[in-house]
Amino acid sequence: MRHLFLKPLLQLNLIRRSSTFVKIVEVGPRDGLQNEASVVPTATKIKLINDLSECNLPVIEATSFVSPKWVPQMADHSEVMAGITRHDNITYTVLTPNMKGFDKAISVKADEVAVFGAASEAFSRKNINCSIDDSLKRFEPVLAAAKEKNIPVRGYVSCVCGCPYQGHVSTADVIRVTEKLVEMGCYEVSLGDTIGVGTSHAMRNLISDLIKVVPVSSLAVHCHDTFGQALANIVTALELGVRTVDSSIAGLGGCPYAKGASGNVATEDVVYMLDGNGMETNVDLEKLVKVGEFISDYLGRPNMSKAGLAMLSKM
């Protein structure tokens, strides 16, 4: 069996060795595309992932093994995973909500799997049709099977700064779910500001409380830019020691269960900001900008990356 834990562990070791290194988790092919109204052809998804691989991104979230009934855009998950050209230095991760999804992910040799929960009870019921506690119970067999097969598992917590259905989400609820995911075996938990309502003040308070109970090295941030606060929130997380940032090429994305939530923060903008502030990503920004323009053109939608547009005007 391949030592599938090797890639994530090497990346964690790099982060620990260099306080200036930031791991970028590119979520465009999954989180970015899942909300597109028209089905994106499998060949286009494969090209997108292959082009992103050429940018030297350390982690690419390739697809989701959810039921096509809930997310039709991801129905071709197995075909996508079979068709991409993999790079040895890149982790290709996929979402797996249950054992059925996990088994399919393993059959196509996913490097890593992810489980996704929420800190909001209302959002959990809308998104995965069960309570927070029930969702955590559903993850138990996935975590157990992953441990047996030596597959690393990443966790997501949605709505850490607010919920489209219930509004306020308490820090205590975020901590409870995050702590539980770490206890269950997630090596990393991504904190999702799903509707982009968070501010740097809220992010600082949240992470400051979280790192009292879980290691900061196990945290990542996943910021949507609905109110234009994503980069500020990322900087705040970095100041507190977080060294993993989720982002999406050209700012693709939203959330099918969070009406009005605009896209993720653009990967190009994050990399430009980090490079300009002396942080290391090892990502080829010029190549990344061209990929953002390609997928924006294909989808017929505006490129939401300010850095990308500025750089393209000079190319």
The two tokens of residue 48 are 């997108």
**Catalytic annotation on 255?**
yes
Question: Distance between CA atoms of 7 and 58, rounded to whole angstroms?
Answer: 9
First-last CA distance in the chain: 45
Which residues, 6 or more positions from 144, have their beta carbon under 8 angstroms from its beta carbon? none
- Cβ–Cβ contacts within 10 Å for residue 293, how many? 20
Question: Distance between CA atoms of 6 and 152, rounded to whole angstroms?
Answer: 9
From 159, 161, 163, 255, active-site residue:
255
Whose CA is closest to 74, among 106, 43, 105, 42? Answer: 42
- Cβ–Cβ contacts within 10 Å for residue 18, how many? 12
The helix (run of H) or strand (run of E) holding residue 176 is: helix 171-184
Indicate which residues carry an active-site annotation.
255
